[in-house]
Structure 1
Amino acid sequence: MTASIVVSDREETAQRLLASSARKSYDPMVEVDWEAPIPDDKFGLTPEWSTLYGTALWDEMTDAQKIELTKHEAASVSSVGLWFEILLMQMLLRDVYGRDKHSRHVQFALTEVADECRHSVMFARAGERLDMPSYGPHPVIHKLGRIWGGFFKGANAYASVMAAEEILDMMQRDFMKDERVQPVTRTVSKIHVLEEARHIRFAREEVGRRIEGASWARLQLERLNTAVVVYFVMKSMIRKEVYSNAGLDPERAIAEAKRNQHYKDTVRTSGSKLMQFLDSVGLVGGPSKRLYKKVHLL
């Protein structure tokens, strides 16, 4: 079983990532112009990423309705990002609790926690600035996240966190480049993408190290846990309330979103890099495939 990236020495990787953090890190409270007006003619996110783009309902909507919907969708995505950043920080701190604090590995993990703290505030502030509800995952999933955060560790935790971060990353790479999108969304996306590149590299190498030599039984557990987390993250990205809050008929909107082949194809294409990596380290197989298919990643 060979990872799709070369796994270097843990300390070597951490030293390189610490140097990168020192060269280029961002303070969202300074980098984002939180006082700038919110343009009436800008989408909340890239319209092609809207769950209704390409449907009959989308074609019937006015430009103002499309903009309002995508602002709610952007707020929903940000709120899920915030929720998972908090879970990630908990996992990292538990993982390094008993490790040598002089090691570069632990020092980068703590640097990442600092980054994630800023990202969490940034996501919260973005939703507030767009004057959107505080969505977050469904209450049941929120409670399950608390349980997951307390019990899972090692490769399954790093793989799950990496997968969740890559899901956000694949969307935000489009948001940050799209001049049709609200400036606040673009800047928040740019900061997150640039800093998460380090975090994803860190997590990928840890997955490669910790999955190596895993027994058959452990591999099945790692596969299932990772797939379950990805499934719930994908299902949580857009809360159903966004449709009624945007002034749409929620029953029709939910039905059309479920059938939206354009959205399914967009997720599958954008998530191909993530799925290739998970497959390369043996984390795709058995029941996990069914879960990935349900959220259109396979």
Structure 2
Amino acid sequence: MTATMDHAPAQQEREDVSARLLSSVAQLSYDPATEVDWDEPLDPALHGVNPQWCTLYGTALWDEMTEQQRVTLTRHEVCSIMSTGIWFEMILQQMVLRDQYCKDSSSSDFRFALTEIADECRHSMMFARACQTLGIKAYLPNRLSIQLGRGYKALASSEAAYGGILVAEEVLDVMQRDWMRGEDVLPMVRTTSRIHVVEESRHMTFARQQMRERLEGTSAAQRKVSAVVIASSAYFIVSNMVNPGVYEAAGLDRRRALAAAAGNEHHHAMMRTSSQHLVAFLRDCGLVTRPAEAVYRQLHML
């Protein structure tokens, strides 16, 4: 009885958060099929992402590129990022559905979890259609990441699962907030970014609440394990965002472009900016241990 009473406030807080999120869903949600003008001609001068978010922006190689190469590269980069988004959203959907298996279907928490799954399914279809409209074939993660993803979606649970979800959502959120305002970005990308930002903000709130509750009373050892699992998921998400094939698609030497991107301090600074809120939250949760911090530094998230 005591244990039930001890958990009651946390459960009520979780229900309150989910109820507010459901109210937000009712007031502000989008259907990409009608919100995005899929038939609008693609302006050949507009980029796929703000040039400042391109992995080569600020390098000597970028200065050598023609404007057409820059446009082509940013379009392929956004499709690579969207493809990675689809990959992880499919993992996310399975983890959330597994987490809610045989839970109380009368709760707001259960209803919002299913709403999130529906949102993510629409987002994946939206990203897939955007890539198709751009005439760019999907960029898949590397083979190791695909296989590890199978294990992660099947085994990750509790704060480790929701932490991985939060990593993918938070990093992309900051990028897309810039893309949706970029006057030199394709209207289609601006609109899909706006839809994703609005709806993912609810998903991030949900993930944070789930993590806070599930971390209550956990041991230091469990937090250390979860910290490494979350950092590992961050490694595979971030490292797969921009497929090496995007450089060849823009007519660049693959090896030289990869070297330029790896040493691009401007892009490293942009990644640290996009990760600030995420890392601060993870620190507050006690999930940035020394091994995890080493991973985040390798990814230039710190």
Q: Give matches, 1:66-145, under 5 Å.
A: 66-145=70-149
CA RMSD, Structure 1 to Structure 2 (Å):
1.2
| Alignment-derived partner of residue 289 in structure 1 | 293
| Cα shift at 1:100 | 0.6
Please, what TM-score do these two structures have when normalized by structure 1? Answer: 0.96
Q: Distance in 1 between matches of 2:106 and 2:11?
A: 21
Which residue of 48, 57, 60 maps to 2:52?
A: 48
Using the aligned pairs only, state the percent identity: 46
Q: Any idea what the Cα deviations from partners look like across 1:228-286, whole Å, max 9, x if unmatched?
A: 00111110000111101111111110010000000001111221111111111111012
Query: Given residue 53 of structure 1, which amino acid in structure 2 is its aligned partner?
Result: Y
- 1:199 to 2:203 alignment: yes
SS of structure 2 residue aligned to 1:271: helix
Contact in 2 for aligned 1:7/1:205 (Cα 8 Å): no
Structure 2: which 5+ residue stretches go unaligned? 1-9
Please, what TM-score do these two structures have when normalized by structure 2? Answer: 0.95
SS of structure 2 residue aligned to 1:128: helix
Q: Distance in 2 between matches of 1:89 and 1:80?
A: 14
Which residue of 38, 42, 47 maps to 1:38?
A: 42
Query: Given residue 157 of structure 1, which amino acid in structure 2 is its aligned partner?
Result: A
Structure 1: 4+ residue segments shifted above 4 A: none
Query: Given residue 131 of structure 1, which amino acid in structure 2 is its aligned partner?
Result: G
Q: Distance in 2 between matches of 1:50 and 1:208?
A: 34
Structure 1: which 5+ residue stretches go unaligned? 1-5
- 1:20 to 2:24 alignment: yes
Q: Any idea what the Cα deviations from partners look like across 1:189-246, whole Å, max 9, x if unmatched?
A: 0000000000000000111111122111101111000000011111000011110111
Q: Give matches, 1:187-266, under 5 Å.
A: 187-266=191-270
| Cα shift at 1:8 | 6.9
| Alignment-derived partner of residue 63 in structure 2 | 59
Q: Distance in 2 between matches of 1:134 and 1:269?
A: 27
Contact in 1 for aligned 2:244/2:254 (Cα 8 Å): yes
Query: Given residue 281 of structure 1, which amino acid in structure 2 is its aligned partner?
Result: C
